[in-house]
Amino acid sequence: MVKKLIIAIDGPSGAGKSTLSRLLSNRLNYINIDTGAMYRTVALAASRVGIASDDGSGLKRLCAKIEIHFERNGQFETVWLNGENVSELIRTPEMSMLTSAIAACPEVRDSMVDLQRQMGENGGVVLEGRDIGSVVFPDAEVKFYLEASVQARGRRRYDELILKGLDVDLAQTIKEVQTRDEADSEREHAPLVCADDAIVIDSTRLTIEQVLERMIDVVKSRQ
């Protein structure tokens, strides 16, 4: 019987984590857990009730009350907040910037890490985020760290937003990606880091398919 692994995918915004996590989980028939979407959902919930990003006690109470789960819809997962599909609402530029501040809150991270560990403890999961291999599952059998130049990541984010019909500026989008990099790397609680035993893949000049095949080869070697 093939062992079901815990696979961690970390990296900065726009490195391709969400796309590759989905594709890899589909190929392996694993559950895909988008941890970044979980923080985005908390940010959305907080914005709706007016809880500030620095209100740790308020955010802790919020996390205890809300329900977040994922549902598979064909090849994609949808994100649900208290029974509402919020998959599109959490992907706006405003939510992206707020999420970085919300995710820096220790109370939020502790709540989400507990939930992520419950979701993935039995293996057969692909989790993507910024601290999966370093904090959430430091003993994960497979760890990837995806990176790319800030220009490449900004362009990908810009193209994604344009496809959604949003009016965005390329230079501003690149600047926002860079700003989020700094916030994620410099925060005191669970900053973005590359785990010592992670396999680093720079996707700046690689296609999604090329990166996916590299990841599949690594997973097969660990099973």
Asked whether the predicted pLDDT for residue 42 surpasses 80, the reply is: yes
- The reported pLDDT for the residue numbered 1 is 67
Rounded Cα distance, 32 and 152, in Å: 25
Provide long-range contacts, Cβ within 8 A and 24+ apart, for 89-94.
89/44, 90/37, 90/40, 90/41, 90/43, 90/44, 91/40, 91/164, 92/166, 93/161, 93/166, 93/168, 93/173, 93/176
Give the domain ranges of the chain: 6-217
Q: Are strands 6-10 and 76-81 parallel, antiparallel or unpaired?
A: unpaired
Taking CA atoms, 44 is separated from 88, 149, 170, 171, in Å, by 11, 28, 24, 25
Q: Who has greater pLDDT, 187 or 29?
A: 29
Q: Tens digits of per-residue pLDDT, 154-193?
A: 999 999 889 989 899 999 999 999 998 888 888 777 788 8
Nearest residue to 126 via CA among 16, 20, 37, 222:
20
Nearest residue to 35 via CA among 6, 60, 3:
6
The DSSP code sequence of 116-136 is HHHHHTTS-EEEEESSIIIII
Q: Tens digits of per-residue pLDDT, 78-113?
A: 899 999 999 999 998 889 889 989 988 999 999 999
- The reported pLDDT for the residue numbered 77 is 79
Q: Are strands 6-10 and 31-34 parallel, antiparallel or unpaired?
A: unpaired
Q: CB–CB of 45/66 below 8 Å?
A: yes
Give me the half-sphere count of Cα atoms (radius 13 Å) on the Cβ side of residue 140. 31
- The reported pLDDT for the residue numbered 71 is 83
Q: Tens digits of per-residue pLDDT, 128-164?
A: 988 899 999 999 999 999 999 999 999 999 998 899 8
Asked whether the predicted pLDDT for residue 40 surpasses 90, the reply is: yes
- The reported pLDDT for the residue numbered 85 is 96
- The reported pLDDT for the residue numbered 86 is 97
- The reported pLDDT for the residue numbered 2 is 73
Rounded Cα distance, 223 and 219, in Å: 6
| The residue type at 123 | G
The structure tokens listed for 191 are 């900053």
Domain 6-217: give its CATH code.
3.40.50.300
Q: Tens digits of per-residue pLDDT, 44-82?
A: 999 999 999 999 999 999 999 999 988 877 667 789 999
Q: CB–CB of 197/173 below 8 Å?
A: no
